[in-house]
Amino acid sequence: MNTKGLQKVSRKKGRFFTGLLGISLLLAGGQPVRAYTHSGNLYTTDGSFADTQAAVFKARKGSTVQIPAGNFIWGHKRDRLYLTSAITLQGQGTNQTIITLPYDSQDAYGNGLITFLAPATVKNMRVTATNSPGTAFSGGANGWRITGVLCDAAGGAYFVQPTGYGLIDHCSFVGYGGSDEMIFMRGPVNSWQTPDSLGTTNAVVIEDCTFAGSGYVCDANSNSRFVVRFCTITGKNKIDGHGKASNTPPRGVRQMEIYGNRWTSTNPYWATVELRGGTGTVFDNYVANDAATWFILTEYGSDALWPNFKKVYQTPTYYPVDDQIGVGEDPKAAGSDPMYLWNNTGGSGRSLSITFKAVPAAAIAQYTNETGKVASTYAMTNIIAADRDYFIDSAKPFDGSSGVGIGTKAQMLAITAAKTNVGFWVTDEGSWNTTLPANTSGRLYTWNGRAWMLKYTPLTYPHPAAR
């Protein structure tokens, strides 16, 4: 008998079961030594990663796990702090409790230092990624909240990478370069097989936050649903909605609601908003330097060759392009879920103008071959067309033939629209913004070919979880 072989197998089994036991003890809250104290629903830790994780596993729904003032390094060798129940993880303030991600802490994508496995809340601390291209928060739970947190991306980071929906409010983000994407999301795989959820909590909601430095406010990636509202953006930071062309997995952003935000930077030559797909609403935003910044609607599949489109330019022959601006659920139908934009203004006193990228010569040549027409040409506006894929307000009085009108309910009802899907923002209805008098928040109606129908009421503000 080969006893040496059996001994080797036995040792391997022993290590395996010891590992399982260790994991079981950890998930049960077992720790050889603990420093945290416990009184009622309050757990007070020493701030170390191990002690905080032990308290978190022990705490039950409704409890608070408190981190003291101090500087703490969490996440060596990719340790994760798993939030497994609806608790609050609370520091003493952004200048008091400072959590640093070391260089060896995290993967760049997906796996966060603090992982939401339940609708937990994290508040009142600073998380910094000095010299770490890591991620601070991730997880697939719905109903989570991050509030009163300062995220400093000194090392280049994706600070929040959820796959579930939740709230980010009263936080501050500091980026240090164009590739710093503060909030990155991929949504559920069935996002394009279900109706849009505009005006609901089925989204990552970013409200009352501040973004400084440079980079991205957010990267709305595959299947994602986002709300960015009432934020102040002091640096060169862009709200970005990715289309199918550049996403993994190959689907576009499903929807975006962008409203009440203010870009205060006077620096020139950068994009404030770039939308490459999906549906949504963009309104009541202000850009101080609108004369030298860009508000972009585009389709990357039309201006470059991408593997997600089999390295074929998406010309008007392919309209509607998969997941492009203005299309809704699968299967795709032209203009089935348009985007609406109104009352976006700039420091010049004018409404913000949309920038469209030029179509490359190679794409024009392909289109010529597809149509068989000599010198056949097209522009990006043939892919993303006004009054079909998106509707926008204009300087001329609204008569129902184009775009979006703004005014009272009576003014809207006096108009018989000539164009299906034109919109009208009614200013004397809606009480969703609780900081305003009743019936002054506004609601969006659209024309269905016979009558004005209520299309959209924004989510209650402040977010229900913030009250």
Q: Which of 207, 208, 167, 211 minimizes the C-alpha distance to 185? A: 167
Distance CA 204, CA 195 (A): 16
State pTM to two decimals: 0.92
pLDDT score, position 1: 39
Residue 19 has pLDDT above 70, yes or no: no
Closest to 160 measured CA to CA, from 89, 205, 112, 91:
112
Residues contacting 332, CB < 8 A, separation 6+:
320, 322, 323
pLDDT at 295 over 90: yes
Q: CA angle, corner 103, sides to 101 and 105, nearest 5? A: 55
Instruction: Provide mean pLDDT across the span 22-29.
Output: 43
Spatial CB neighbours of 317, under 8 Å, sequence gap ≥ 6: 367, 370, 371
pLDDT classification of 431: cutoffs 50, 70, 90: very high
Average pLDDT over residues 89-94: 98
Neighbouring residues of 301: CB distance < 8 A, sequence distance ≥ 6: 243, 244, 245, 308, 309, 313, 314, 318, 321, 322, 324
Q: What is the pLDDT of residue 106?
A: 54
Give the domain ranges of the chain.
35-382, 393-466
Residue 103's pLDDT is 67
Rounded mean pLDDT of 93-112? 78
- pLDDT tens by residue, 200-212: 999 999 999 999 9
**189 Cβ neighbours under 8 A, 6+ residues apart:** 223, 249
Which residue's entry shows tokens 């060596």?
76
Q: Give the 3-state secondary structure of 26-72.
A: HHCCCCCCCCCEEECCEEECCCCHHHHHHHHHHCCCCCEEECCCEEE
Domain 35-382 grouped into CATH 2.160.20: yes
Pick the closest to residue 89 from 137, 23, 134, 140 (CA basis).
137
Kindly list the distances between the CA atom of residue 138 and the CA atoms of 83, 134, 332, in Å, as whole numbers in the listed order. Answer: 10, 11, 31
Residues 44-55, mean pLDDT to the nearest whole number: 97
Q: Locate 440 and state its tokens.
A: 């002054």
Q: What is the mean pLDDT of residues 424-438?
A: 98
Mean pLDDT (whole number) for 311-329: 96
Residues in a beta bridge with 71 = 98
Within its chain, how far is the Cα of 96 from the centroid? 28
Q: What is the pLDDT of residue 133?
A: 64
Confidence (pLDDT) at 25: 42
For the CA atoms of the chain, what is the radius of gyration?
Answer: 25
